[in-house]
Chains A and B, each alone.
Chain A
Amino acid sequence: MPGATSIHINNRQPLRATGDSLAVRALLIGATLVFFLLFLFFPLVVVFEGAFSKGGAAFLETFRDPYTRHSILLTLVIAAISVPLNTVFGIAAAWCVTRYKFRGLSFLITLIDLPLWVSPVIAGLLYVLVFGAQGWFGPWLREHEIRIIFAVPGMVLATIFVTFPFVARGLIPLMQAQGMKEEEAALTLGANGWQILWRITLPKIKWGLLYGIILCNARAMGEFGAVSVVSGHIRGKTNTMPLHIEILYNEYQFASAFAVASVLGLLAIITLILKTRAEWRAEQELRASSFSTAP
């Protein structure tokens, strides 16, 4: 009998790692699932359902509208400018933070995270205060006929601010964990800084980098608050997809609003799939490097 009991306990041990009872586990898993369905999955279904509520023809009609087309184009343009810039900034910041030791290092790390803490609306307002007509550079900009606020440059700036942390935050823990022995080895073999970056560091971090870029891109395309403040909502000029959705919705064009929203929703799903894949590869990357450095 004692033998049988011990076997029974042994069998159940992997499940009982935390010592929680079956009821607690069922409750937690159930609550998570309900939350997921109610707040994440059903809204997504509603978006797609709303998009096709007036049929496929109406759905397609939305995308023949020049204003809608322009908003999609502008969203792509803004992402195409801000994502590459933030990729370069992110790599530089992560390199700086993980490769050098200097005074103010932890302050710099905090600063990288700043855009995540500040409300996007405030970020947008900051740019209005700096570059707006009444702002610091306002008179100078007017003299030189440069428009930043209520124009595309301001929207790009606001997007860059909001999406700045994603690449750097993705890379810093990876680069810290990987260490820099390979870089030092390349140095003793006669490689200069650029050669080390291109031939050693970037191949080492490529999946972590891709992960950061995907998140950065998703946020750049979906950004509403900061862009809304600096945009001025000029249809066909300074309207991105999220702003266009709001306008359509406020004008009771629900089907069209949902149709554009469904494109963003689709983007989110694609992002999620790519992100999961990149995340998985980044983990492999990390494991490969720890495999080679572990004793």
Chain B
Amino acid sequence: MARRAGASRLLILNRTMSIAIQNITKRFGLHPALRDVSLDIHDGELIALLGPSGSGKTTLLRFIAGLEFADARDGRISFQGRDVTDLSAYQRKAGFVFQHYALFNHMNVYENIAFSFRVLPRSKRPPESAIRERVTELLRAVQLEGYEKRLPTQLSGGQRQRVAFARALANRPEVLLLDEPFGALDAKVRKDLRRWLREFHDLTRLTTIFVTHDQDEAFEVADRVVLIDQGTIQQSGTPSEVRNNPANSFVADFLGLTENDAPAARTECQLKTR
């Protein structure tokens, strides 16, 4: 309890810094996934980690959640000024939405969302009435009222995605992490969910980080875009900053800004390969 009080005092001092990542390096075998990455994320920000596949953006997200650990001991990460480097995923309790939802197929929607309460020790577990209230509130927020008894396999992709959102948010995480949240959905549902995420974020101001390889998605939804390639951060800034002042040739290339006729050249290329 004493630690908690200390942490909340820090929280007041450091209020604007939600997540601080310092000097993270991670290798998978010989392949370096992250090279000395540092990133500060402010309270209430909505951030997109944008980059090509294999750039290390998902590894960074999983590192924040505690699903991956850094190689070198000098890499640190803190939430709200509280060092969480050595805490495992189940102690950090970051809300995480997986690319393919990872819903529990043998549990209905209600139990999926209530899961983070079910695993609490008895002394900390809220009463069933409070859990019911929270689940109902979340189902309303994701527009799935009345779906409590459905199994995940009886839902469409978009509905499953929204259940995954609700489940990640249930126990009020300090941060919400989304891995390619719209990647597996068709275009129409994608657009709706993007708008929904933006509105939801404006309402709650919950610090949110999402990974995407789709620049339209990143620029349309995020407050700040962090471009990653080859395990390093290439540029970080608001959508207009990045668009108007690409920091290097990778950013310019990736956004298709190298030359004025770059988009046309790309189309030509695509036509040729067909």
Contact between chains at A291 and B104 (CB < 8 Å): no
- Interface digits, A185-210 against B, CB 8 Å rule (1 contact, 0 not)? 11111111001000110011000000
- Interface digits, B55-96 against A, CB 8 Å rule (1 contact, 0 not)? 000000000011100000000000000000000111111111
- Interface digits, B234-245 against A, CB 8 Å rule (1 contact, 0 not)? 000000000000
CA distance in complex: A151, B238 (Å): 77
In the complex formed, the residue of A with least CB distance to B67 is A184
B8 close to A (CB within 8 Å):
no
CA distance in complex: A98, B152 (Å): 25
In the complex formed, the residue of A with least CB distance to B115 is A189
Contact between chains at A294 and B90 (CB < 8 Å): no
A295 close to B (CB within 8 Å):
yes
Q: How far is the CB of B123 from chain A (nearest CB, A)?
A: 14
- The one of B98, B119, B160, B183 in contact with A192, judged by C-beta atoms closer than 8 angstroms, is B119
Contact between chains at B95 and A188 (CB < 8 Å): yes
CA distance in complex: A200, B118 (Å): 12
A106 close to B (CB within 8 Å):
no
Contact between chains at B152 and A189 (CB < 8 Å): no
Q: Interface residue count for B (Cβ, 8 Å)?
A: 34
Residues in B whose Cβ lies below 8 Å from that of A204:
105-106
Contact between chains at A185 and B105 (CB < 8 Å): no
In the complex formed, the residue of B with least CB distance to A186 is B115
Q: How far is the CB of A78 from chain B (nearest CB, A)?
A: 33
Q: How far is the CB of B121 from chain A (nearest CB, A)?
A: 10
CA distance in complex: A191, B93 (Å): 9
B26 close to A (CB within 8 Å):
no
In the complex formed, the residue of A with least CB distance to B170 is A189
B153 close to A (CB within 8 Å):
yes
B102 close to A (CB within 8 Å):
yes
Contact between chains at A184 and B93 (CB < 8 Å): no
- Interface digits, B106-139 against A, CB 8 Å rule (1 contact, 0 not)? 1000000001101110000000000000000000
Residues in A whose Cβ lies below 8 Å from that of B88:
187
CA distance in complex: A39, B100 (Å): 48
If over half of B's interface residues share one DSSP class (helix, strand or loop), that class is named, otherwise mixed; here it is loop
Residues in B whose Cβ lies below 8 Å from that of A189:
90, 93, 115-116, 119, 167-168, 170-171
B94, B105, B153, B170 pick with most chain A CB within 10 angstroms: B105
A187, A192, A199 pick with most chain B CB within 10 angstroms: A187
- Interface digits, B165-204 against A, CB 8 Å rule (1 contact, 0 not)? 0011011000000000001100000000000000000000
Contact between chains at B93 and A190 (CB < 8 Å): yes
Contact between chains at B93 and A188 (CB < 8 Å): yes
CA distance in complex: A187, B104 (Å): 13
A279 close to B (CB within 8 Å):
no
CA distance in complex: A13, B171 (Å): 56
Residues in A whose Cβ lies below 8 Å from that of B98:
181, 184-185
Q: How far is the CB of A27 from chain B (nearest CB, A)?
A: 43
Also in contact, A190 and B120, with CB within 8 A (given A185-B102, A294-B100): yes
B104, B152, B153, B167 pick with most chain A CB within 10 angstroms: B104
A271 close to B (CB within 8 Å):
no
CA distance in complex: A195, B185 (Å): 31
Contacts of B130-165 to chain A: CB distance below 8 A:
152-153, 160
CA distance in complex: A186, B107 (Å): 13
B103 close to A (CB within 8 Å):
yes
Also in contact, A295 and B119, with CB within 8 A (given A181-B102, A188-B65): no
Q: How far is the CB of A189 from chain B (nearest CB, A)?
A: 4
A288 close to B (CB within 8 Å):
yes
A292 close to B (CB within 8 Å):
yes
B101 close to A (CB within 8 Å):
yes
Contact between chains at B106 and A188 (CB < 8 Å): no
Contacts of B239-274 to chain A: CB distance below 8 A:
none
- Interface digits, B196-237 against A, CB 8 Å rule (1 contact, 0 not)? 000000000000000000000000000000000000000000
A-B contact pairs, 8 of them (CB 8 A): A186-B119, A188-B168, A189-B168, A190-B91, A191-B115, A192-B90, A204-B105, A292-B152
A-B complex: 7 closest residue pairs judged by Cβ atoms? A181-B102, A188-B96, A185-B102, A189-B116, A191-B119, A187-B89, A203-B106
